[in-house]
Amino acid sequence: MVATGPGGGLAARRAVGRWAWRLFVREWRQQLLVLALIVVAVAATVVGAAAAANAPAPVDGTFGTAQDLASFQGGDPHLSAGIAALEHRFGAVDVIENETLAVPGTVSTYFLRAQDPRGPYGRPMLSLLSGHYPAGAGQVALTPALASELHLHIGDLWRQGPMTRRVVGLVENPQSLLDEFALVPPGQVPAPNTVTVLFDGQPVPARAIGSNVQGRAPANTNAFNPETISLAGLTVGMILIALVAVGGFTVLAQRRLRSLGMLASLGATDKNVSFVVRANGVVVGVAGALLGTAVGILLWFAYRPRLESSSHHVIGLWALPWLVVVLAMVLAVLSTYFAASRPARAVTRIPVVTALSGRPAPPRKVHRSAVPGIVCMVIAFFFLSWAGSQAHTGGGMKEVVLGLVALLPGVILLAPFCLSALAWLGRRAPVAVRLALRDLARYRARSGSALAAISIGVLIAVIIVIVASVRYANALDYAGPNLASNQLILYTPTGPGYTPPCPPGVCPKAPTGDQVQAMGTKAHAVASALGAQHVVELESMSASLSRNAPGRNWNGSIYVATPALLHAFGIRASAVSPAADILSMRPGLATLSNMHLDWCNQFAAPQNVDGKIFQNPCTTGGTSTPVIQQVGSLPSGVSAPNTVITEQAVQKLGLESQLQVAGWLIETAHPLTASQISNARLAASSAGMTLETKNDQPTSAQVVNWATVFGIALALAILAMSVGLIRAETAGDLRTLAATGAGSRTRRTLTAATAGGLGFLGALLGTVAGYVGVIGFLRSNSLEGGISALGNVPVRNLLLILVGTPLAATAVGWLLAGREPAVMAHQPIE
């Protein structure tokens, strides 16, 4: 437009803004796509961030508002003196006494708890649901679940041993809904098992106060917390939306070209004219942000009870991460503002007379050079290389972020060049394909942003596919689900799955032979109740594998390849090499060099220094280079006996005396149900064992396949949103083609070639960019084994993205483009 510079000030802006608002109100349906995308992105962020922030159990559930917690055994003769000492040293304390009682007729237990509801620190751990708190020796308040189990209501009498108490209220620990207890006033628990004292010992470190004292975990200072992860996801999502929105706003500006020309002919400056388009973007962003937040909050209201029930603590109705919500709204407005800025600038460059004529502006020349994009890619490559070189120290996260940030503009800047290259390559194609590819190149301002969005979607998927396959393929630091869904392991107290429930500094004693035998009997009873196919006793000893080379090192347990274990997994003794020390199903482990088997025959007594138990040193042991044989029949779970030491090696190393039963692996014919697991856990607990079942860790194939589906689906969704806009620009050409006798076949070919071309380029550019990033990260990354780790990349999935995306886009484009567009019927052929 010819006019530039300021003019009219606030009054002009108000007038132009009013017009923009009216246009939005009149034409909001044409902006529904962008609006819907923003609403979905903001709503998903609100719900996702709220769920992620509220799901972890709050630390208040144990500490209340105290900074420190001291644990005493109920029968500790120094209990009173210890509490008095803490009170004398640190002032107010909150004493909570617990006695474990069994629910009559069941194996369930609950606590008889003495706690002051008005205590200085424990108040967040108590909430009165109905009635009132117990005030005297004859009163008690119950949690709802316990009241139900005991068939008691408010006003009923509760007889427990010699005591009779009246139920005066229902209470709960809002921080832990699994906490079942009967609340009595302080001092009313006759024989407490444990006594917890809450106090504020700051600034004295907890370990300096005593071995039985735990300090409150410091606030999460990790930069990668639920809020930042939600925002990072939102930012990437908004970049994709902004790239799609550029096309939408460009078409809208094109439709309003005459009006904008009119405005300029009345004396509106360039700023006024571009303000209309920008204001439109802001209005869409604000509307999307407000609607998205409202929808997100409504969804949160609906989802919150489920989350409360699954996370077992009370979550406030408005316990939303407000900073994330506000930032999500700001990001939504910013992304639409910047998406509208490009067409806003473009429209001011159109001469007024051309704008008034309403003729479509000639395609804007977009710089074809690939140099800026390549420069960004190179910068990204070096940042990621730098990050890779620091991976072994646990650092490099900032460099990873910077590398990914440089990778995105690289893709965006390379997109127009790729479109030109494709048009050049297709210069000898049939006319409809040639025209489609040429239109993509001619209108690069629009198709370039769509291509960039598709490429970024594919880039994310490719990075996930490659990184997951590299990580999962690491034979030393094994990743994946712990067990299969039809497996469970019962551990003895000293087995690998054991987590000490005792106060810090007090270690579990190894079970005696009789105890182990009793546990074994119980394990077989559990297996029998489950109808198990196999029960395998797991034996372990003090040997470990390691590798004398940089990178990830061994994790997981080494069990003994007993005949029973081999038989359970269908491994014949003749299949085991007599020279083998280790059998493993981990692919690649047998071929690794510098592997060491470290063992210990005899340990010195554990040392207790100031209440801290130090690792008992090995007095007699050694190291050897093991012969490792790969045996694919062993189970693949991380906690399962995927790597075992042969009995010959145990004898050779003199480790027979170190053998101890670690647990029992039970395998059933069908996946275990929740009630089966619950019953097994109760049975294990009653025998002093712990139980491990399948966790939620996905398998490598699951991650890779989901990422592949995500990449293809995202690319197709962006194509669905963009191809219509791109083809709308050339509606005039379509009418001309129709006038020259082109039929639905040509229309289908045009749309299919547009979609297929964009899909192919997007898949190619995204895959190349993904490889640039991953190669950069891996080439100097000793932790993951360097560039050779790329040998594990699932080529089939990458081919599916590269070939499947354009094929699907072409097919959908062909199928959906048969109908004659309305514009052909309503507008005369020019």
List residues near other proteins by CB under 8 A: 2-12, 14-16, 18-19, 22-23, 25-26, 258-259, 262-269, 272, 351-353, 356
Closest separation between CB of residue 349 and other proteins, Å?
13
Which residues, in sequence order, are bridge partners of residue 602? Answer: 620
Separation of alpha carbons 682 and 686, rounded Å: 6
Left if phi > 0, otherwise alpha if psi is -120 to 50, otherwise beta: which for 98?
beta
Closest separation between CB of residue 304 and other proteins, Å?
41
Taken in order 73, 74, 77, 79, is the CA torsion positive or negative?
positive
Closest separation between CB of residue 357 and other proteins, Å?
10
Q: Angle 303-309-313 (CA atoms, 0-180°, nearest 5)?
A: 105
Q: Which residue, among 413, 414, 455, has the nearest Cα to 719 in the 3D structure?
A: 455
The torsion angles phi and psi of 802, rounded to 5 degrees, stand at -65, -40
List the 618-624 sheet strands across, edge first: 543-547, 595-603, 618-624
Residue number with CB closer to other proteins (352 or 644): 352
Q: Within 13 A of 626's CA, how many CA atoms are on the CB side?
A: 35
Residue number with CB closer to other proteins (25 or 609): 25
Q: What is the CA radius of gyration of the chain?
A: 34
Closest separation between CB of residue 258 and other proteins, Å?
7
CB 336 within 8 A of CB 245: yes
Q: Which helix (H) or strand (E) holds 576?
A: none
Closest separation between CB of residue 277 and other proteins, Å?
14
Residue number with CB closer to other proteins (266 or 609): 266
Question: How do 582-584 and 607-609 pair as beta strands?
Answer: unpaired
The whole-angstrom distance between residue 453's C-alpha and the CA centroid of its chain comes to: 22
Closest separation between CB of residue 271 and other proteins, Å?
10
Alpha helices in 654-743 (DSSP H): 674-686, 700-729, 731-739
Closest separation between CB of residue 790 and other proteins, Å?
55
Residue number with CB closer to other proteins (28 or 424): 28
Closest separation between CB of residue 355 and other proteins, Å?
10
Residue number with CB closer to other proteins (23 or 742): 23
Residue number with CB closer to other proteins (14 or 368): 14
Separation of alpha carbons 244 and 40, rounded Å: 14
Separation of alpha carbons 812 and 816, rounded Å: 6
Closest separation between CB of residue 276 and other proteins, Å?
10
Residue number with CB closer to other proteins (19 or 491): 19
CB 476 within 8 A of CB 593: no
- Joined together, the tokens standing for residue 305 give 């009870």
DSSP 121: T
Closest separation between CB of residue 724 and other proteins, Å?
23
Q: How would you class 56 by CB atoms within 10 Å of its CB: exposed for 0-12, middle for 13-18, buried for 19 or more?
A: exposed
- Joined together, the tokens standing for residue 599 give 């063992």
3-state secondary structure of 476: coil
Single-letter amino acid code for the residue at 57: A
CB 516 within 8 A of CB 661: yes
Q: Angle 147-149-154 (CA atoms, 0-180°, nearest 5)?
A: 20
Closest separation between CB of residue 16 and other proteins, Å?
8
DSSP string, 790-814: GGG--HHHHHIIIIIHHHHHHHHHH
Q: How many residues does the chain have?
A: 830
3-state secondary structure of 511: coil
Single-letter amino acid code for the residue at 686: S
Residue number with CB closer to other proteins (273 or 703): 273
**Widest distance between CA atoms in the chain:** 102
Q: At what angle do helices 700-729 and 744-779 cross, to 10 degrees?
A: 140
Separation of alpha carbons 473 and 465, rounded Å: 12
Residue number with CB closer to other proteins (356 or 484): 356
The torsion angles phi and psi of 255, rounded to 5 degrees, stand at -65, -30
Closest separation between CB of residue 20 and other proteins, Å?
8
Buried b (16+ CB within 10 A) or exposed e, 160-178: eeeeebebbbbbbbbbbbe
Alpha helices in 349-370 (DSSP H): 352-357
Residue number with CB closer to other proteins (118 or 258): 258
CB 423 within 8 A of CB 441: yes
Residue number with CB closer to other proteins (22 or 132): 22
Separation of alpha carbons 469 and 365, rounded Å: 42
Closest separation between CB of residue 332 and other proteins, Å?
24
Closest separation between CB of residue 442 and other proteins, Å?
20
| Residue in this structure with the two tokens 């209005």, named with its chain if needed | 283
CB 303 within 8 A of CB 47: yes
- Joined together, the tokens standing for residue 694 give 């399948």
Closest separation between CB of residue 346 and other proteins, Å?
18
Residue number with CB closer to other proteins (256 or 438): 256
DSSP string, 47-58: HHHHHHHHSSPP
Closest separation between CB of residue 787 and other proteins, Å?
55
Residue number with CB closer to other proteins (19 or 381): 19
Residue number with CB closer to other proteins (6 or 190): 6
Q: List for the chain the helix, strand, coil content (%; round to 5).
A: 55, 15, 30
Closest separation between CB of residue 22 and other proteins, Å?
3
Residue number with CB closer to other proteins (269 or 700): 269
Closest separation between CB of residue 830 and other proteins, Å?
16
